[in-house]
Amino acid sequence: MPIADYYTLTLSCPDRVGIVAAISTFIAAHGGWITEASHHADPDAQRFFMRQQILVDSLPFGIESFREKFSRIATEFGMDWHIADTTRKKRVVILVSKSGHCLYDLLGRWQAKEMDIDIPCVISNHDTFRSFVEWHGIAFHHIPVTHQGKTSAYTKIVDLFEEVRGDVMVLARYMQILTHEVCVRYPGRIINIHHSFLPSFVGAKPYHQAYGRGVKLIGATCHYVTPDLDQGPIIEQDVVRVDHSDTPDALIRSGKDVEKTVLARGLRYHLEDRVLLHGNKTIIFR
Amino acid sequence: MPIADYYTLTLSCPDRVGIVAAISTFIAAHGGWITEASHHADPDAQRFFMRQQILVDSLPFGIESFREKFSRIATEFGMDWHIADTTRKKRVVILVSKSGHCLYDLLGRWQAKEMDIDIPCVISNHDTFRSFVEWHGIAFHHIPVTHQGKTSAYTKIVDLFEEVRGDVMVLARYMQILTHEVCVRYPGRIINIHHSFLPSFVGAKPYHQAYGRGVKLIGATCHYVTPDLDQGPIIEQDVVRVDHSDTPDALIRSGKDVEKTVLARGLRYHLEDRVLLHGNKTIIFR
Amino acid sequence: MPIADYYTLTLSCPDRVGIVAAISTFIAAHGGWITEASHHADPDAQRFFMRQQILVDSLPFGIESFREKFSRIATEFGMDWHIADTTRKKRVVILVSKSGHCLYDLLGRWQAKEMDIDIPCVISNHDTFRSFVEWHGIAFHHIPVTHQGKTSAYTKIVDLFEEVRGDVMVLARYMQILTHEVCVRYPGRIINIHHSFLPSFVGAKPYHQAYGRGVKLIGATCHYVTPDLDQGPIIEQDVVRVDHSDTPDALIRSGKDVEKTVLARGLRYHLEDRVLLHGNKTIIFR
Amino acid sequence: MPIADYYTLTLSCPDRVGIVAAISTFIAAHGGWITEASHHADPDAQRFFMRQQILVDSLPFGIESFREKFSRIATEFGMDWHIADTTRKKRVVILVSKSGHCLYDLLGRWQAKEMDIDIPCVISNHDTFRSFVEWHGIAFHHIPVTHQGKTSAYTKIVDLFEEVRGDVMVLARYMQILTHEVCVRYPGRIINIHHSFLPSFVGAKPYHQAYGRGVKLIGATCHYVTPDLDQGPIIEQDVVRVDHSDTPDALIRSGKDVEKTVLARGLRYHLEDRVLLHGNKTIIFR
């Protein structure tokens, strides 16, 4: 995570000559010091994507002035754009069920300041991790999700997320399918870790599916949640080798290590504004 | 590949007490020196699998006597079993189309004696690699496969395979779907390399499917061919990392490196009698 | 981790004909049900290594009788051997410093019963993780290690380890060099995670060394501690890709993920009696 | 490899505000269409590195005019810079010994036009691959290297390399140590594949060294050759998992697969002008 303070400028627009020149001239004209810059041009879609990291101290004005001044360029090139200030910590709400490996992993990174975020609360459909979470000084909300009470449960979750001004919702092996309404409300702001190498083994019990098929590697996929189950834009994936001697329980155990690593990597890309959406795909500026 | 000569004994049978004792006592009674031994017990199927590698010179009799003497134990335990002699080179018939990376790779290994096999011939639906193959002193057969002439083409292929007493048929990116008849005729003897991480992206143009889905790793799968397209028992798989900047052509190029490595590894397991079939899955005794 | 109860028999002896026959006949004669068996014959050293996992309930006697009865075979073949009962949880003493990623990881696995062990205490040269450890209901001992007080500190650590009847000492990024005396006292019982891919970058600040050399992958090594710093038998290693944009801090952060995974895997092999020592090398029966 | 024609502009200079603005404004002013752009700022060295890929057809002038016009900016910022035209195929001279896996791999890629290069000749200290190379229509030169005749052998090699106007010399498991004179004559133009994960196992017989140390992964390193043996800037590395059952011969065999893949990847980065040198390290703009 950055030690200096940066503005992170991300944008996409129709590709044409002069985009980089316009942006970099604007930044240079104000003395902006660029520490990282990444471009991508999609030849099929004729669309251009960019991420710039600019030292806050190098500019003579603040983020609001940047927004105002930059908007002229943005309008000229028809940009979808966003600027973030790394001094403002992102607020991450974690949803968890009874499986704690991703929770331990994320709180461990938070405790070590490896992830420089605020975690205003953890929400769970079980009370399992209450005291563990509270020990960290983080609020814990037990919101059971029953078949009949599903709508009211998700109303509570959305209310909480709004109340704490959450930036991103992380489903850290939450094991519940969000309602359509929640999914469409927060596009690109809900991150899930699916316990298979998508698109293989969509849906329930992917490790048992993997065992049944006899695959030689299993994986995990970090993706944005959309109303289509396990079909959202993929942020990160990885795999681990298994063999015939691995029972479904052994696959589950090996898989957990991949899940937590992949979720942490995907979440980091998101938190550092390294992920740009392009239809149902992602551009990751590492 | 072995420098000494071995018998490779592979078997499976219903699991019960005393199998290993019976087998190892039999081998030890005749002075047999075991250089490798691998076991697997499937707890669900209650089935036992074993592979033993025995030094030929340590036994006072030949393979025929071994077969005769061992058959009593095999019958007692209800074994499916097989014994191979590594001094007898396996005869590998390679089928190829217009993409040569797996062919170069396999012939390179053959030339270096890294794979101690006989390649009686290479068969292709195109004439592309004739002179390259023939330069190696290997016969090349151009058997075009047309829509109408499919049956007669496969009759020729089967005839050739029989004529050269082929042990295994390797589809080294052959790009043609074998007829049902050929598939069922050689169970566990036809090896294919599929250019995706199965079960993802079955069928045609898997790299384009992968590009469309935006996956972050692509892979290849070496499997036995069955009448169900891309559904046969998986022998080996591997993946390679890709990103948003990779066009379908770039995926194809990266994928080729995985394909040839995975095919070579899977084929080696097969050639060294390390693969046991268990329904639609494999046990790989590496 | 096993759900059923097993005896785990591990042994090594000079290689010769009849070892497996003698062992398996002994086990079968008493009705012993073998669920896993692994062999390795080292052709250079002419030494044989074996691990057998036997269902406790399948035998008509307990571990003491097993030891007594088996000792005749062991003597005959000149075996170094060991039998463990998986119902007896291993007692793991964790040593940690100020970096908590491995500690979070191990306690997370312990909490999830993914590692079925007892952790009688955690020892640290800093007080950083006291309340976190104690929250888990595990005793925490702060034993500062100063230059002058090194000997007395290690006396305390050894006393504690003995007092709690520790089976294995895990240096979970302990960052202190044990005294020669401690190292030789517990051969094969002290496990360290070194933050480089050994034998590269022995000693201090390996990530800075890696940065200086410009390597494209960094790694971590789980090994037994011997008096020779970072020279002990390697249990497990893994790597992760890095590039020119990674500062030493970024290498440290990426490396942590490898460290905790590699330590957990190596420790698991040890706990399940899958590691046999052979000089300065290990045989890992996965 | 590119299907369209590009100029590839690579440069480095002291870091300061306005570099990108100056360059991109220059390119945009002439209508230049940038298809790929990569930046790197080294915070320690305060040095900036860049690679731009510009469509040839989008510019109203040729490469000589580009050079002339751009030189003013280059001088202003104190740039080390280079521009290449992808329509001009690079000329790759391959040096090989008796081990052919890298040669097969490279010629296979060349044959498939996967590497769009010219191979004016192959040089070897053995005659082993003459007819294989010549079959491809490539000249083969047998230049034995004896202890006494070393200097004259390398004189011949340099003469040949100059005569065919070689751009890059690839040591595809050449197994000979180049003279100091040759190394310093072609900085950043001689690429070697070393059969270990450097800096582990420098020098001779790295697989035997790896076997002796009992590592759990072996690797290969593609690097530029400098007068210090195996100490040159690393371009690419990778590893493969091994275990206790792998003899040195098995390590050699597994290692070959890594060697050829790593060499091909590293060479590709070089050919596509994706490698910038920075002291003894590389920046790879993938």
Check whether C84 has a pLDDT greater than 50: yes
Cβ-defined contact of A36 to C253 (cutoff 8 Å): no
Check whether C172 has a pLDDT greater than 50: yes
Please compute, for residue B252, the number of CA atoms within 13 A of its CA located in the half-sphere on the CB side: 13
Confidence of residue B72 (pLDDT cuts 50, 70, 90): very high
Give the tokens for residue D129: 């691959």
What's the angle, vertex CA A217, arms to CA B253 and CA A101, rounded to 5? 125
- Smallest CA–CA distance, residue A69 to chain B, in Å, is 30
Looking at residue D1, its pLDDT comes to: 44
Summarize pLDDT for B142-156 with one digit per residue, the tens. Answer: 999 998 999 999 999
Summarize pLDDT for A230-266 with one digit per residue, the tens. Answer: 999 999 999 999 999 999 999 999 999 999 999 999 9
Per the structure, the count of domains in chain D is 2
Distance CA A170, CA B213 (A): 22
Is residue A1 in some structural domain?
no
Q: Does A202 touch chain B (CB under 8 A)?
A: no
User: What mean pLDDT value characterizes chain D?
Assistant: 96
Percent of chain B topping pLDDT 90 = 95
Q: Is there a catalytic annotation at residue C230?
A: yes
Looking at residue B90, its pLDDT comes to: 97
Of the ranges A11-15, B126-130, D43-47, which one carries the lowest mean pLDDT score? D43-47
Percent of chain D topping pLDDT 70 = 99
Summarize pLDDT for A6-25 with one digit per residue, the tens. Answer: 999 999 999 999 999 999 99
Distance CA B194, CA B202 (A): 9
Which chains have 3 or more CB–CB distances shorter than 8 Å to chain A? B, C, D
Looking at residue C4, its pLDDT comes to: 77
How much is the ipTM here? Answer: 0.94
- The single-letter DSSP state of residue D181 is H
Check whether D3 has a pLDDT greater than 70: no
Q: Are strands B92-96 and B121-124 parallel, antiparallel or unpaired?
A: parallel
Is residue B46 in some structural domain?
yes
Confidence of residue B3 (pLDDT cuts 50, 70, 90): low
Confidence of residue B253 (pLDDT cuts 50, 70, 90): very high
Looking at the fold, whether B81 and B96 belong to one and the same domain comes out as no
Q: Does B80 touch chain D (CB under 8 A)?
A: no
Looking at the fold, whether C152 and C246 belong to one and the same domain comes out as yes
Domain boundary at B85, B107, B132, which?
Answer: B85
Confidence of residue A216 (pLDDT cuts 50, 70, 90): very high
Cβ-defined contact of B104 to D114 (cutoff 8 Å): no
| Three-state DSSP class for residue B24 | helix
Distance CA D60, CA D7 (A): 13
Check whether A34 has a pLDDT greater than 50: yes
Measured between beta carbons, the chain D residues lying within 8 angstroms of A37 are 20, 37, 39
Confidence of residue A4 (pLDDT cuts 50, 70, 90): confident
Is residue B77 in some structural domain?
yes
Looking at the fold, whether D81 and D110 belong to one and the same domain comes out as no
Is residue D1 in some structural domain?
no
Looking at the fold, whether B132 and B212 belong to one and the same domain comes out as yes
Looking at the fold, whether A193 and A128 belong to one and the same domain comes out as yes
Looking at residue C261, its pLDDT comes to: 97
Summarize pLDDT for D84-127 with one digit per residue, the tens. Answer: 999 899 999 999 999 999 999 999 999 999 999 999 999 999 99
Summarize pLDDT for D120-159 with one digit per residue, the tens. Answer: 999 999 999 999 999 999 999 999 999 899 999 999 999 9
Looking at residue B4, its pLDDT comes to: 77
Looking at the fold, whether C135 and C188 belong to one and the same domain comes out as yes
**Rounded average pLDDT over A34-46:** 93
Q: Beta strands of D71-177 (E only): which ranges?
A: 80-85, 92-96, 121-124, 139-142, 168-171
Is residue D129 a contact partner of residue D101, using CB atoms and an 8 Å limit? no
Looking at the fold, whether B186 and B223 belong to one and the same domain comes out as yes
**Rounded average pLDDT over B124-130:** 98
Looking at the fold, whether C227 and C118 belong to one and the same domain comes out as yes
Domain that holds residue A33: 6-85
Looking at residue C203, its pLDDT comes to: 84
Percent of chain A topping pLDDT 90 = 95
Which pairs count as long-range contacts for A125-128, CB under 8 Å and 24+ apart, including other chains? A125/A97, A125/A153, A125/A174, A125/A175, A125/A176, A126/A97, A126/A98, A128/A98, A128/A100
Distance CA C274, CA C279 (A): 16
Looking at residue B1, its pLDDT comes to: 44
- Burial classification of residue A205, based on how many CB atoms lie within 10 Å of its CB (0-12 exposed, 13-18 middle, 19 or more buried): middle
Looking at residue A3, its pLDDT comes to: 61
Looking at the fold, whether B277 and B179 belong to one and the same domain comes out as yes
Looking at residue C1, its pLDDT comes to: 44
Looking at residue D38, its pLDDT comes to: 95
Is residue B190 in some structural domain?
yes
Is residue B64 a contact partner of residue D65, using CB atoms and an 8 Å limit? no
Looking at the fold, whether D158 and D80 belong to one and the same domain comes out as no
Is residue D275 in some structural domain?
yes
Q: What is the CATH number of the domain that holds A71?
A: 3.30.70.260
Residues 224-253 of A with CB under 8 A from D: 241
Check whether D2 has a pLDDT greater than 60: no
Give the tokens for residue A75: 């309008």
Name D237's bridge partners: D221
Looking at the fold, whether C103 and C16 belong to one and the same domain comes out as no
Domain boundary at C69, C85, C101, which?
Answer: C85
**Rounded average pLDDT over A115-144:** 97
Distance CA C107, CA D6 (A): 54
Looking at the fold, whether D30 and D141 belong to one and the same domain comes out as no
| Three-state DSSP class for residue C108 | helix
Is residue B1 in some structural domain?
no
Looking at residue A1, its pLDDT comes to: 44
Looking at residue C194, its pLDDT comes to: 97
Check whether A149 has a pLDDT greater than 80: yes
**Rounded average pLDDT over A82-111:** 96
| Three-state DSSP class for residue C87 | coil
Domain boundary at C42, C62, C85, which?
Answer: C85
Q: Active-site residue among A15, A44, A105, A230? A: A230
Residue corresponding to tokens 């001992």: C141
- Spell out the residues 6+ positions from residue D87 whose beta carbon is closer than 8 angstroms to its own: D5, D56
Give the tokens for residue A237: 């994936």
Q: Active-site residue among C105, C230, C246, C273? A: C230
Measured between beta carbons, the chain A residues lying within 8 angstroms of C249 are 3
Which pairs count as long-range contacts for A32-38, CB under 8 Å and 24+ apart, including other chains? A32/A58, A32/A59, A32/D17, A33/A58, A33/D17, A34/D20, A34/D39, A34/D41, A35/A4, A35/A6, A35/D41, A35/D43, A36/C245, A36/D39, A36/D41, A37/D20, A37/D37, A37/D39, A38/A285, A38/D38, A38/D39
Q: What is the CATH number of the domain that holds B134?
A: 3.40.50.170
Looking at residue B2, its pLDDT comes to: 45
- Smallest CA–CA distance, residue B30 to chain C, in Å, is 9
Q: Does D265 touch chain C (CB under 8 A)?
A: no
- The single-letter DSSP state of residue D98 is S
Q: Which amino acid is at A46?
A: Q
Is residue B188 a contact partner of residue B273, using CB atoms and an 8 Å limit? no
Is residue C1 in some structural domain?
no
Distance CA D22, CA D24 (A): 6
